Amino acid sequence: MISGRVQSILRTSLSVATTLLGLLLVTFVISRLLPADPVLAIVGDHASESTIAKARHDLGLDKPILTQFAIYLGNVATGDLGKSVRTGRPILRELAHVFPATLELATLGTLIGVVFGIPLGVLAATRKDTMIDHLIRLIGLIGYSVPIFWLGLMGLLVFYAKLDLLPGPGRLDFGYEEMVVPVTGLMTIDTLLAGDVALFGNALAHLILPASLLGYFSLAYISRMTRSLMLGQLRQEYILTARVKGVSEARIVWKHAMGNILVPLLTVVALSYGNLLEGSVLTETVFSWRGLGLYITDSIFGQDLPAVMGGTIAVGAIFIVINMLTDVAYRVLDPRAR
Chain centroid, CA 286 distance in Å: 17
Contact by Cβ (8 Å): 282, 296: no
pLDDT at site 1: 45
pLDDT at site 138: 94
Q: Which of the residues in the chain have pLDDT under 70? A: 1-5, 8-9, 35-37, 41, 45, 279, 334-338
CA dihedral 135, 137, 138, 140 (to 10 degrees): 130
The model's pLDDT over 123-145, given as tens digits with 9 standing for 90+, comes to 999 999 999 999 999 999 998 88
Longest distance between any two alpha carbons in the chain, whole Å:
86
φ and ψ at residue 250, rounded to 5 degrees: -65, -40
Which residues make Cβ contacts (< 8 Å) with residue 37, sequence separation at least 6?
Answer: 303
User: Which of 281, 280, 271 lies closest to 319 in space, CA to CA?
Assistant: 271
Contact by Cβ (8 Å): 153, 173: no
pLDDT at site 133: 94
Strand, helix or coil at 290? coil
pLDDT at site 205: 93
What is the reported pTM?
0.85
Q: Note the helical H segments in the chain.
A: 4-33, 38-43, 49-58, 65-77, 91-126, 131-145, 148-155, 187-193, 197-234, 237-244, 249-251, 258-277, 281-286, 292-301, 305-333
**Domains and their CATH numbers in the chain:** 4-77 (no CATH), 91-337 (1.10.3720.10)
**CA 36 – CA 40 distance, rounded (Å):** 8
Which residues make Cβ contacts (< 8 Å) with residue 139, sequence separation at least 6?
Answer: 120, 219, 220, 223
The model's pLDDT over 233-284, given as tens digits with 9 standing for 90+, comes to 998 888 888 888 888 888 999 988 998 898 889 989 998 998 888 757 888 8
- β partners of residue 83: 90
Residue type, 214: L
Q: How many other C-beta atoms are found inside a 10 Å radius of the C-beta of residue 239?
A: 17
